[in-house]
Each structure stands twice: as C-alpha cells, then as structure tokens.
Amino acid sequence: DKNLGKYLMKKTGREMILWDGSCIVHEAFSMERIAKQLVENPEAKLIAHPESETAVLELANFIGSTSALLNYVEKDDCQKFIVATEEGILHEMHKRAPHKKLIPALVYDESCNCSECFYMKRNTLEKLYLCMKYELPEILIEEQLRLKALEPIEKMLELSKSIK
C-alpha cells in the first residue's frame, strides 16, 4: 500500500520500494469535506489509519492500527471523533465507548457518506468456517516462491515480539 509505505518511510526514515496500490476506502476520503467536518466539530479529534493519504494524516490527531484506534477512542478524554477508516470499525468503537460521538470521515462522493469496503464485506464468518473446516480453497505455489515469501513474514513476526 503506497500510503502506508509513505507513512512508514516518514516514521522510520527508511527508504522502501512501494507498490503503486492502495485501499479504495482510504483513497476515497475527501480532504475538503473532512476539513469542513473539523470546522463544524471543533471539539472533535480526527483519527486515521496510516493507509490514508498524506493530507488526511497531516490533519489527524492520532494515527494507528485498528486496535490502536479502538484503544484511543476508549481511553482518550475527548468525547467526539471523526474516524477516517473503514466504517465497520465504528460498531466496535460504539461498543467500547457508547457515550462518545463517532463521525465517519466523509468521502468525495457527496451522494454517499459511507466508507465501506466491498472487498472486506465479501468475507463472512460462514465462508471462514467452511474454509477452515474443509481447508479449501487450496492454494498451490512453487516451493521456491513459498520460501521467499516466508522470509518477510518471519521477520515481521520476529519484530512484533520485540514490541510487546
């Protein structure tokens, strides 16, 4: 994800070769409409996933993973948040902080205030259950490619151990 990559390069100071792809939800946010939301809600804090475009991140009061956003809303003293990420996270945020006001960040399309990911909605508990039960669909790849792909996963897991 080019946006996440740019964010990580800025945070770490490390150069990366970025894939020119991005999340359709995070690309759809309208900086102009979010700026208007912030003016209309001066007491609100803007929180965002790092997959958002740089302009959104520069205005954000907090940037973090899904779990970090959930924890931030739950623990921060602020009572109103503008949330720049996939709309599905709002349900869990409401459960964790029912007394707080959560406002979905607006997208470019003025006929729709939603930020739902069609691709994420295709995954269901039933499909996950069937996949685990029958171990299907089976994905076969060449052993050399599997081993090459395993390296960054193992590095990531090793790095995550040091964070805890």
Please report the pLDDT score of residue 113 as a whole number: 56
Per residue of the chain (164 residues), give pLDDT as tens.
899 999 999 999 999 999 888 876 777 788 899 999 999 999 999 999 999 999 999 999 999 999 999 999 999 999 999 999 888 889 999 999 999 999 999 887 776 656 776 667 788 899 999 999 999 888 899 999 999 999 999 998 988 887 65
CA dist 155 → 54, 105, 107, 149 (Å):
27, 34, 35, 11
Which pLDDT belongs to residue 43? 98
Do the beta carbons of residue 62 and residue 72 sit within 8 Å?
Answer: yes
| Predicted pLDDT at 22 | 80
Q: What is the pTM of this model?
A: 0.75
pLDDT at 101: 97
What is the arrangement of strands in the sheet containing 62-63, beginning at the earlier edge strand?
A: 62-63, 45-48, 80-84, 101-104
Phi, psi of 62 (to 5 degrees): -150, 135
What's the pLDDT at 10? 92
pLDDT at residue 111 in the model: 63
Reduced to 3 states (helix: H, G, I; strand: E, B; else coil), residue 45 is strand
pLDDT at 88: 82
* CA-wise closest residue to 33 among 118, 90, 114, 102: 114
Q: What is the pLDDT of residues 47-91, one digit of tens each?
A: 999 999 999 999 999 999 999 999 999 999 999 999 998 888 899
